[in-house]
Each structure stands twice: as C-alpha cells, then as structure tokens.
Amino acid sequence: MSAPRKPRVFISRTTAGLAAVAEEIKTILETRIEHPCDIIIQSGFVPDWRTVPQMLQQRLGESDAVIALIGPAHGGEPDYAPAKISDNIPADRKFSYTQWEYLVARELKRPIFTFLVSGPGIVAPYVENDADGKPLPPAEAAQRAERQQQFIADFPMQQRELRHTYTDRALLLDHIAKLDIPLTAHAGKPSNIPYTSLGTLFKGRDTFLAELRQHLTAESTGAITGKRTIHGMGGVGKTRAAIEYAWKHADDYNALLFITGDTPEALHRNIAALCGPLVLNLPEQDERDQSLQVEAALKWLKLHPGWFLIIDNVDTEQAADETKALLAKLTTGHVLITSRIGDWTGHVKSLDLDVLSDTASIEFLDERTAERRPKRDDDQKNVAALVQLLDCLALALEQAGAHISTSAISYADYIALWESKRPAALAWHDQEKMKYPRSLAITYETSVAQLRSGAKDLFNILAWFAPDPIPRNLLDSRPNPADERHNLSDIERLSLARYLSDGKTFTIHRLIQEITRAQQEKAITPAIPTEPPAKPQGLFARFFGKKEQPQKAQQPIEKPTALLAALEWINGEYIGEPADVRSWPVLIPLTPHAIAAANAGVKCDIRDPSGRLLNQCAILLATRADHHGAEPLYRKTLAIAEKALGKTHPEVAICLNNLASLLQATNRHAEAEPLMRRALAIDEASFGDSHPNVAIRLNNLAQLLQDTNRLGEAEPLMRRALAIDLASFGDSHPKVARGLNNLASLLKATNRLGEADPLMRRALAINEASYGDSHPEVAINLSSLATLLYATNRLGEAEPLMRRALAIDEASYGDSHPKVALRLNNLALLLQATNRLGEAEPLMRRALAIDEASYGDSHPDVATDLSSLATLLYATNRLGEAEPLMRRHLEIFLNFTSDTGHQHPHLIAAIDNYASLLMEMGDTPAQVREKISALMKTYGVSV
C-alpha cells in the first residue's frame, strides 16, 4: 500500500489575462500548511498523433480536481476540429484550448471548481492573438469574445453548485486557499470510474467491503486473479459498493476500469470503448472494426497485470453467458461483476448485498439532506419512520434524499408526499442530483420485464402479500406446484425475491411490491356501470354461508386480477379456528399476508373474502393479546358487515361481540357494554331466546357485569346461558364447560365456595376429555380450580395445578402473554403464602412487566400485579419500595371507578391496604385520611 499523497489539481486558465493569478494560486495551494496540493498547469500542446482532447485526458486523468478560471478572454483554438469524444459536446462548435480542458475534465467526471472572474484586480490587460502570436482583427476578436460568453452561459451551468463569481482578487484567493480537494484520481493510471466516492455519505458497508477485499485477494499470492459478483435486488447499492471499493483500494491497482454489460452487445461495445482517448488511449481507438478494439483492450489487460475492472448491471441471462465466456480472458486482474442474478455457480463466486441497517440509513439521510432540509423538532421521529417506509433500500434512500434536498422540504413533507402521491415519489428522478441513471420504479420495471410469463403472473400475485416472510410450502397448494416452484426460482434468480436462511421462507422487498401493485392499478381501465346481480354474494358469504340482500346499482371498482388471485389463494389456506392454538402453526405465518391482501381487497370493494380474512386475523391477534393490531381489523370488519348486511344482521352481532370483547380486555367497559347489549338484542330477535348464539352473548355480557362488580345482574345471565348450552349440546360439550367455569368463578367471588368447587371440577373433566391435557382451555380450568383450592387453604393441592396451567400457557402463547402473567402471579401468591418469598418475587416482577407491556400502566390486571408485589415488599419490610406500587394499585381502581361509574370490586380492599402501609410507615390516622381523600378527590370518587 503506497503512502498517502497530495491531491493533484489542474489549473485551467487562459494565458491571456489570467496567467499571473493562476501562478499565485499555484503557490498558495502548494505551500498551504494543511492539505497542500500538487499543481498542474498546461503550458502548451506539442502536436502528435493525438488530438487536443486525447492529450488532455492524460494530464486531467492524473488530476484529482480542476480549478477552472473562466475570464473574458477566449484564448487560442486548435487549428483543426478534434474528433468527437462525447455526445455531451456538440460537434459543430469550436472550442478554445482552455475550454477543452474544462470539457474533458467534465467527461472524466473530475470535480470542477468553477470561478467566473473579471475586473482589473484579477484579469491583467490582454490581447486575443492568433496561432502565430499576432493580434486578431477586431471582427474575429469580437467573434471569439462572443463564443466565450456563449460557453459561460452554456457549459458551466452544469456545475452550478461549484460555480462562483469574483471581481475581488483577495476574496478569490482566500476562497481557493480554503478549498477541500478530494483524492479521486491516480497518476499514470487509466481510470473511467463514473462517479467519485461518496466519502462520509457511504454508510453501513465497511464490513461488506472488507469481506469483498478478502474474497478478491484470497485466491492468489502473486498475480491478481480474483473474480466475484455482487448480487442483490435492483437499487440495493451494488454499483455504489463496487465504486466505493475501487476508490478505497485504488492505490493497489494500476488501472480502475468500468464497463456496463446489460446486454452482450453493450458488453462488447464498452470493452471496445476502453481503447478510447479518455481511458486506455490505444491506437486502435480509431478502428472501425469493433472486434479489433475489443482484442486490443483485452491485450492491454493481459500485458498490464494488476488492474481492477467493474462489469456493471449484468442482469440478463444472455449478458451473463457472454460475461462468463469473457472471464476466461480476464486473468491478470480483479473482476467485480454487479448483477441481479444470484446463480453464477461454476464460473465466479457471489457475495449477496442486502439492504442497509436502520442506523446507517438514518445517518445517510441526515447527512444527505442536512444543507437544504428545513430542520424540525420531530425530525428524529420522522426520519426513523421514513427509513421504515423505504425499508433501508439504498436507491430509495438516495432518491428520497435527493428529492428532499432539491425541493428543500422536511422529512414530514416527504412522508406526506409518499402517502398521498406514492407513484410519483417512486418515479421521481434527477440524474444530475442522484448520480444514478434510473428511478426506483424504472429500475424494477426492467427486472420484472425479464420474467417468463408464469413467473411474472406469480410475482404479480405475490406483490399483494406483505413484505414479511412467505412460507415456501404455500406453493404446494397451487394448481401446478412444480411449475410454481420453478417460477419462484426464476423470481429469486433475478433478486426480486430472497430465500431466507431458514430454508422455509422467502421475502419480497416492500418497495418492489409497492411498484408492482402500482403498475397493476395503473393498467386497469375504468369500469362500465352495471346492474347488480340477482343474488349478490357479500362479505360473509363464504365465511358464514349466508346471502346478502340485493343493493342499489353502483359503479363497480375495477379489481386487479392478481389481487383477486392472491385473496383466493390466501383465503383457501387460512383455515382452522384462529382462537385455537392448534391452528396457529399454519395461521400465524399467513396472518400478515392475509391482512395485507384483505386491506387491499377492501379498498377495491372486494368484500368476499376480504371481510372474512380480516375477521379471522383479528381473532388470532386478539387471542395473542395483540390488541393494538386486532382493534382496527375488528372495526373495519364491523363497518363492512353493516354496509353489506344491514345493522341488524346476525353476522353484525358477531362483529359487535368481537369488538366489545377486545374493548373489555383493554379496560374500556363503558364502550364495550352497549355493543354487547346490541349484539344480544340482534341475536334474540334473529334466533329467539334459546339459541346457542344467544348463550354466547349472555355469557359475554355477564362477564363484563362481573368485571364491573354488578354480580347480582351477572348471575342470572350466566345461569340462563348455561341452561341454553346444556339443552343445545348436552352435558359434555366444551361450551358447557365454559359456562360452568364462568358461573363457578362468580360463585367463588360471592364466597359460595362449596357450590363453585364441583362446577369447576366438572368443567375441567369436560375439557380434558375434549381437548387433551395440554390445551389453553384446560389451563383456564386448572387455574380456576387452583385459586379456589388456595382460597380454601388447600395449598398442597393447588400448587401442582398452578404449575401445570403455567406450563400449558407458556407452551401455547409464549413467555410474554397476559395469560402467562396471570398464571405467574397466582403461583407467586401461593409461594408467598408458603413463605418462599425468594421464589415468589421474580415471578411477580415478571408478571408485572408482561401486563404493563400488554395493557399499559392503568389496566386492572396491572393493579393486581402491583398489589401482589407491594404486599410481598411490605412483608419483607421494604416499605419505601412498596408504597409507590400500592399507591399506583389504588389509583388504577379509582380511575376504573371514575371511568365506568361502577365501584371496582377491590377498591375498598385497596384503600385499606394502602392505609395500613402508610400507618406502618409512621403516618397518623389523620395524615392517612388526608392522603387517601386527596387521591379520591383527584379521581372524583367517594365511597
């Protein structure tokens, strides 16, 4: 590795008028203490076989940057028309030597610091001369002056961000003295890398670059012969990683070369172009036969070992085959291929490039937009949200960053644009600002276009799934599984999908899905209004086997064919009872996909099976205590059902009941009760007083009444529900077991323990016979019976039942479910009662943490946990730790009483316990009354 060197700066100026100031700038930059530079000033052009641009490319190719001093003088012109070197430079215009310096530097993509200068303080008196040094005639001098002004108007505009205007010599010199000159080029090394390094903007890839370096150098000790591909989805940053590697290790190579290979023709054309004046500068550059140019470039590579070559965008099978054939001839340097194709087995080893981390993505956006983005207090929150929307995809981040900077908008503004005009945000592109040739949308369209027909159909369907892992065995349910597995392989081969390391699932990036869905929606033509069918099928037709009533004719919303296929596919697989843990291994992996497709279906007015899927998913989420996720699904399902079936349909009662149960579980009893009563009224009107559905509604309402301490109202409802179930199902059905257990719990709450005991044992026996020994319903019965045994001081009988219930729920729900917290707390109380305080305390703390995470700080279950832990701390004389817990416990019950209008069953006990603790801590009775009265006044409660 060579020692660090000084940046090389080429000073471009006309001799006429600017020679003196250029020499002064040279002295300043060469002698400055920090970051001195080596300076190059072109002093003349000695004619040879090359044109002026061809000669300039050597000098400028050695330079890291160019300082272009552009004054009023035009300067001398070549006496011939140089060959065209770029489509960006008009062939019909005449340029001066100095202008050619600027144009060639721009083609080489060197940083150009442009200074438009004028005035006697900078520009010395000058005369425009001809090639022999004689003054030009006035007319020709005027024409040159006009051409100079035209050049200033046209070309430096493209370097607007680095363009400055000066008439004061001191200010000009001070500005230039402070320039930060990057290291971008390498003396004597051919280089056509298209972009300079991002520098500090290149985030989160250090480990990948180190791994790439290790792989490229691992196979040789003397000669450089490494070959690798970087593969990954479009926009993940493959090209940028390759370029950053090139600059990072530039001193280790004698040439840095870049070609694109998206087609066989492009591959050969770009290899031939390496002969050109701005790269290898070979005599064959003027050959008309492309094959001779290719041969010359390959010969140079063979004779000059130690180069680095990037072959970019080898994304088609044809291009990959041609590249594989070429690799045999590239044996004296490092070759790095970027490709969306992942399978290069037998030819070159691949490194998979994934998306950036959240942290790196946030750091990139903050730095990328820092100069022009309006700063807001909520930037930290919004940039984190934006990173999630973009899913850390490098091109999406750059597109967003460029858009934010160009438009000078905030993160919040961009998020709003994304939400309201997502297709426009995805398609936005500014090549000059982004330094990337295509927008995100176009990048993916080019990949999708390569898919075979069957693979494209499958990909369009999968676009309506969620970005979560998709089970690969889901393909087994397709009409032709073998064909679909082949189609998925085709999708994965182009990096449009990613197989996960578990060997069982794959994912598709959310932005690929966004773009694909948008393309499908864009392709839909407006529908023609039609009359409704005679017997329309609605939301719950498939779920409940019901028919909806005919509705008024409406203009239908066109439905993407692939979305219909996705809904049908997922609905066919989403089988089993979502409240039953035995169904979860199948349902849990499908749930995010069912929600994503169903939500899209609702937007497109596809009520069936969208409503059924949302309802089933909500039940599963609620059972797993994901109330935040379940609630909007329940509300959406209710709205769909009411619109489709009317407000008094039995299926609306089901939706009301589900939503009410969730509201009850999250301590919103006042909202839940009217929904439960409405559901009961619907079913009584629809089915009569003795239908099993009526029993369900009675039981649910009774439990809510019990929760709000209206036990006298609850008991007759429970007994009525039990009678209905016994008549409907017999005395050995799980529904009967549930009714027995509910009634027994109420009897226990009213201190009728002798009546409760046989009911609980009977419920346990029914469920063990129905479900086996390890079902959550059995755990409920075990826990109920154990708490009754505990209450009757039969602790030895209670403990094994509690431990068995805890083990069942941990196995069924995992370690962080509220049911597990309930079992932990019960067991901890028993351990405390048997003086095993060291075992009890960690269980209590674990139960409290679970419930706080599940319900928040103000739920009655949290109050129960707080009371248990505070009581233990009290018993172990840690009164200072117990007091805030006991106070929180009381405040929760006060808040409950205030919100519901019903005194919580444990409020009086909570007041007594807190009063006892305060007196134990030394408060007088008067002080205790004052503190408790103040708390009660805060919540507007009196007892």
CA distance 48 to 55: 9
* C-beta separation of 514 from 467 below 8 A: no
432 or 672, greater pLDDT = 672
Q: Is the pLDDT of residue 549 over 50?
A: no
Contacts of 501 (CB under 8 A, 6+ apart): none
Confidence of residue 616 (pLDDT cuts 50, 70, 90): very high
- Whether the CB-CB separation of 162 and 109 falls below 8 Å is answered with no
What does the pLDDT average to over 197-209?
82
pLDDT band at 602 (very low <50, low <70, confident <90, very high): very high
Mean pLDDT of 111-122: 89
Q: Are 778 and 760 in contact (CB under 8 A)?
A: no
Least confident of 176-190, 633-647, 841-855: 176-190
Q: Does residue 3 carry a pLDDT above 50?
A: no
Mean pLDDT, the chain, rounded, equals 84
Average pLDDT over residues 4-29: 88
Q: For residue 281, what pLDDT is reported?
A: 84
Helices (H), 430-540: 431-434, 440-448, 453-462, 481-493, 510-523
Beta bridge partners of 499: 506
pLDDT of residue 558: 67
Q: Over 90: is that where the pLDDT of 423 sits?
A: no
Q: What is the mean pLDDT of the segment spanning 857-863? A: 83
Strands 505-507 and 470-471: antiparallel
Angle CA 232–233–238, to nearest 5:
55
Q: Would strands 505-507 and 498-499 be described as parallel, antiparallel, or unpaired?
A: antiparallel
Going from the C-alpha of 197 to that of each of 203, 343, 409, the distances in angstroms are: 12, 29, 26
- Interval 727-747: pLDDT, tens: 999 999 999 999 999 999 999
Confidence of residue 259 (pLDDT cuts 50, 70, 90): very high
For residues 229 and 349, the answer to whether their CB atoms sit within 8 Å is: yes
pLDDT tens across 502-528, in order?
889 999 888 888 888 888 877 664 444
SS3 label, residue 352: strand
- Output the pLDDT for position 88: 65
What per-residue confidence (pLDDT) applies to 432? 56
Report the pLDDT value the prediction gives residue 555, as an integer from 0 to 100: 52
pTM: 0.60
Q: Check: CB of residue 775 under 8 Å from CB of residue 767.
A: yes
pLDDT band at 538 (very low <50, low <70, confident <90, very high): very low
Amino acid code (one letter) for 400: A
4/789 Cα distance (integer angstroms): 80
Compute the average pLDDT of residues 458-481.
Answer: 93
**Whether pLDDT at 710 is above 60:** yes
DSSP of 375-386, one letter per residue? P-TTHHHHHHHH
How far does the chain reach from its first CA to its final CA, in angstroms? 83
- Per the CB < 8 A criterion, the answer to whether 611 and 544 are in contact is no
Identify the residue whose tokens are 């990954």: 232
Structure tokens at 611: 């409503």
State residue 669's pLDDT score. 87
Secondary structure (DSSP) of 510-522 = HHHHHHHHHHHHH
34-48, 327-341, 588-602: the lowest-pLDDT one: 34-48
- Could you tell me where the beta strands, DSSP code E, fall in 530-611? none
DSSP tally for the chain: helices H, then strands E: 39, 13
Q: How many CA atoms lie within 13 A of 587 on its CB side?
A: 22
Q: What is the pLDDT of residue 200?
A: 74
> What is the predicted pLDDT for the residue at 83?
53
3-state helix, strand, coil in the chain (%, to 5): 60, 5, 35
Distances (CA, A) of 835 to 500, 829, 881: 50, 10, 20
What pLDDT does 526 receive?
A: 46
Percentage of the chain with pLDDT > 90?
41
pLDDT interval class at 437 (50, 70, 90): low
Q: What is the DSSP string of 815-865?
A: TT-HHHHHHHHHHHHHHHHTT-HHHHHHHHHHHHHHHHHHH-SS-HHHHHH
Distance CA 304, CA 121 (A): 49
Order of strands across the sheet with 505-507?
Answer: 470-471, 505-507, 498-499
Distance CA 230, CA 573 (A): 37
pLDDT for 438: 57
| Calpha distance 676→462 (Å, rounded) | 39
Mean of pLDDT values over 589-602 = 95
**CB-based contacts of 119: which residues, under 8 Å, 6+ apart?**
167, 168
In this prediction, residue 97 has a pLDDT band, given cuts at 50, 70 and 90, of confident
What pLDDT score does 800 carry?
95
Question: From the centroid of its chain, how far is CA 926?
Answer: 58
CA distance 755 to 718: 15
**pLDDT tens digits along 392-402:** 888 888 888 88
> pLDDT tier at 419 (50, 70, 90 boundaries)?
confident
Q: Is the dihedral of CA 537, 540, 546, 551 positive or negative?
A: negative
pLDDT at residue number 921: 92
Looking at residue 456, its amino acid is K
pLDDT at 531: 39
772-810 pLDDT, tens per residue? 999 999 999 999 999 999 989 899 999 999 999 999 999
Tell me which residue has tokens 């995992």: 814
Q: Which amino acid is at 688?
A: G
pLDDT on residue 220: 47
Please spell the DSSP secondary structure of 3-66, one letter per residue. PP-PPEEEEE--HHHHHHHHHHHHHHHHH-SSS--EEE--------SS-HHHHHHHHHHT-SEE
pLDDT digits (tens, 9 = 90+) for 637-692: 999 999 989 999 999 999 999 999 999 888 788 899 999 999 999 999 999 999 99
pLDDT of 716 > 50? The answer is yes
Q: Output the pLDDT for position 58.
A: 63
User: What span, in angstroms and rounded, lies between the C-alpha atoms of 396 and 392?
Assistant: 8
CB distance 402 to 416 below 8 Å: no
Report pLDDT for 345.
66
Q: How far apart are CA 597 and CA 565, in angstroms?
A: 10
pLDDT(547) > 80: no
Query: Average of pLDDT values for 357-376?
Result: 88
Region of 373 (left: φ > 0; alpha: ψ -120 to 50; beta: rest) is: beta
Look up residue 254 and give its two tokens: 């004698």
